[in-house]
Amino acid sequence: MGQDRVVDDPLAILDDYDFVLPESSIAQAPMPEREAARLLVLDRSSGEILTSDEDHRIRDLPNWLRAGDLLVVNATRVLPARLVGQKASGGAAEALLLGPAAATDPGSDAAADYRALVKCTGRIREGLSLSFGAGLEVSATVLSIHDRGEVVLRFAAGVDPYAHGEAPLPPYIRRSGEAAAADDLTRYQTIYAREPGAIAAPTAGLHFTTALFDRLREQGIGIAEVVLHVGAGTFRPLDAAAIETGRLHREHFELPAETVDAIEKTRTSGGRVVAVGTTTARVLESQVDRDGQLRAGSGTTDLFIRPGGTPFQVVDALLTNFHLPRSSLLLLVAAFVGRQPLLNAYERAIRQGFRFYSYGDAMLIIPQADSRGPR
C-alpha cells in the first residue's frame, strides 16, 4: 500500500490566505457609536460585492435582512483578565488570566491558582514574585511553567484577581491611561453579554445596540443566543499541528434548546439563520450530528472550519469583522464564501479605508438570490 505524500511544511497552505495590511487600517479605538461602523455586503452565492462606494453602516443591517430571519449571537462575557504590574525587582510585568488552574499538590488552594500568560522584563522562572493592580496591592508567584508559554500563578487565598484587571485587548490595540482602560471595559463587551468566561470579545457583536435590536424585532427578525468562551487560542497563530489534525484549541460552549427550536422554526418558515461572528458559527456547526440534526448541549469544541472541510449545515448568512491574515478566523470565512471572493472583498475594504480587526468595521455575507437588498 502506498503512503500519503508527506508535506514538508503544513503551514504553506496559509500563504494562500495572506495579504498586506497597512498599519493604518488597524482600528485602535471603537467608533463613537456602535452602529456607526461601516458595512460591506458580499453575496455568498456569486462572490459579488453588493455595496457600492456609497457609505453603508451597521445601522443599515435591517435593510439587508427580512422578516423570518434569525440572528444568533454569542452571549459570552469578557472577563477583565489583563493584570498590569511589575516584578519584585521593579521590572514591568503583565499577565493574561486564562482561568482557574487545578490543584497542583494536595495542600494547594485551587481557588488561588490561575493559568496565565505572563510577559515581563527578563526571564520567567518558578518562584518569580509579581505585583499587580493600580497600587500593586495584589501579589502572585509563578508556581509552575507549562507548554506554549502558560504558567500557573498563585494568589493569596480569597483574592479575586479579576477585581484588579483590565479589558484584555488584543496586542495590536495599544492603550495608556486609566480613562481609556475604563472605556474599553464597556466597549470591548457586547450589550447582551451575560455569561462570564471569555478573554476576547466576539467582535462582530460589538456593533449592536438596544435600538438596533428593537428595529430588527419590529421588522420580524428573531434573535437567539449561544455561548462560546473565546480562549487564548484566538491570540495565537495557527501551528502545524492544527493544520495537520484539522482541530483547534478547545473552547467551552453552550447551545440552548430554545435556540435550536428557534432555528428549526426559522428553517420551517423559510427564514435564514444569520450567525453573528465566527464564534457563533463554530458553536452551531459543532452541534450537527451524523444525521444532520442540530442538537442542544454544552461542552467544549475544537472544530476547525476551513476550506475543503465539511460544508456549513446550519449557517445561511454571516456577519463578521475583518480578520488577521493567515488566521483560523479568516479560513472559516473563506470556507463560507470562497477564498478568492473573500480576498477580493478584503482588497476592496483596504482600498476604501475600512477599519480592521476587533474595533473595526464589519462584513455581511448573505445569499443575494433571496435577499431584497437595501431599501
The 10s digit of each residue's pLDDT in 263-302 is: 999 999 999 999 999 999 999 999 999 999 999 999 999 9
Average pLDDT for 112-125: 93
First to last CA, the chain: 60
pLDDT at position 52, please?
Answer: 77
pLDDT tops 70 at residue 352:
yes
pLDDT at position 178, please?
Answer: 61
What is the location of CATH 3.40.1780.10 in the chain? 19-78+184-370
Domain 19-78+184-370 has CATH 3.40.1780.10: yes
Average pLDDT for 57-68: 96
User: Which grid cell is 69?
Assistant: 430571519
> Which whole-number Å values give the CA distances from 69 to 215, 226, 372, in the listed order?
13, 16, 12
Q: How confident is the model at residue 177 (pLDDT cuts 50, 70, 90)?
A: low
Average pLDDT for 43-72: 93
Average pLDDT for 22-43: 96
pLDDT at position 5, please?
Answer: 44
pLDDT tops 50 at residue 2:
no
pLDDT at position 149, please?
Answer: 83
Amino acid present at 53: D
Residue 154 contacts residue 107 (beta carbons within 8 Å): no
Better-scored residue on pLDDT, 74 or 53: 74
pTM over 0.95: no
Query: What would the CATH number be for the domain defined by 82-164?
Result: 2.40.10.240
pLDDT tops 90 at residue 107:
no
Average pLDDT for 168-182: 78
Average pLDDT for 208-236: 94
pLDDT at position 102, please?
Answer: 74
pLDDT at position 110, please?
Answer: 59
Give percent of the chain with pLDDT exceeding 90. Answer: 78
pLDDT at position 4, please?
Answer: 46
pLDDT tops 60 at residue 1:
no
pLDDT tops 60 at residue 6:
no
- How high is the mean pLDDT of the chain? 91
Residue 284 contacts residue 253 (beta carbons within 8 Å): no
What is the location of CATH 2.40.10.240 in the chain? 82-164
pLDDT at position 109, please?
Answer: 56
- What is the per-residue pLDDT across 226-265, written as a single tens digit (0 to 9) for each? 999 999 887 788 889 899 999 998 999 999 999 999 999 9
pLDDT at position 375, please?
Answer: 43
Q: Are strands 362-366 and 39-43 parallel, antiparallel or unpaired?
A: parallel
pLDDT at position 147, please?
Answer: 82
